[in-house]
Amino acid sequence: MHAHTPAEHTVDGVAPVAEMHLVHTSDDGQLLVLSVLVDEGSASEPWQTFLDTATGPDGTTSTIDVASLLPSSLQYWSYDGSLTTPPCSEGVSWVVFSEPVTLSAEQIARLDAVHDHNARPTQGLNGRVVRGGDAMLRSE
């Protein structure tokens, strides 16, 4: 899990204030990134735990219910893309939830303090197709 400020994805040409990436790797090395866009609004208690941990002293750990970090609607856009940090490898499946979560101004300021302006410039679609969908959480 990590964050970018501002967001790396844009919606109608506008970048939300931040974007959280939940990076997954399959046993055979395929990459899937779940992206949660962030708008300024009400404070998020689940994301506060992430913030406390990510900005705490080295070695700080916590347990987070990842489902609690996702927006209430799991409608998403998906496309084939690349990593947004060097080596920017291709072959990454992206799932970007269309409904942002909100963090308070104070929470966003804490993110900015450790992740200020680490967003890769927006890349063109270059013929790629963006698909829409709706996901469901399943507990096992």
Output the smallest distance, CB 82 to Zn ion, in A: 11
Distance linking the first and last C-alpha atoms of the chain: 22
Show the tokens assigned to 70.
Answer: 């996702």
Residues 52 and 26: their CA atoms lie apart, in Å, by 28
Output the smallest distance, CB 20 to Zn ion, in A: 8
Q: How many CB atoms within 10 Å of residue 123?
A: 12
> Is 9 or 21 the residue whose CB approaches Zn ion more closely?
21
Q: Name the burial class of residue 140, with classes exposed (0-12), middle (13-18) and buried (19+) by CB atoms within 10 angstroms of its CB.
A: exposed
> Is 21 or 110 the residue whose CB approaches Zn ion more closely?
21
Contact (Cβ atoms closer than 8 angstroms) between residue 104 and residue 42: yes
Output the smallest distance, CB 1 to Zn ion, in A: 9
| Binding test (CB under 5 A) with Zn ion, winner from 9, 21, 110, 115 | 21
CA 4 and chain centroid, separation: 8
Output the smallest distance, CB 91 to Zn ion, in A: 15
Q: Among 15-23, 86-94, 111-119, 128-136, which window interacts with Zn ion (CB under 5 A)? A: 15-23
- Side chain identity, residue 105: A
- The conformation of residue 69, written as its DSSP 8-state character, comes to G
Q: Among 16-24, 69-77, 114-122, 131-139, which window interacts with Zn ion (CB under 5 A)? A: 16-24
Residues numbered 71 to 90 that lie near Zn ion (CB under 5 A) are none
9 binds Zn ion (CB under 5 A): no
Residues that bind Zn ion (CB under 5 A): 21
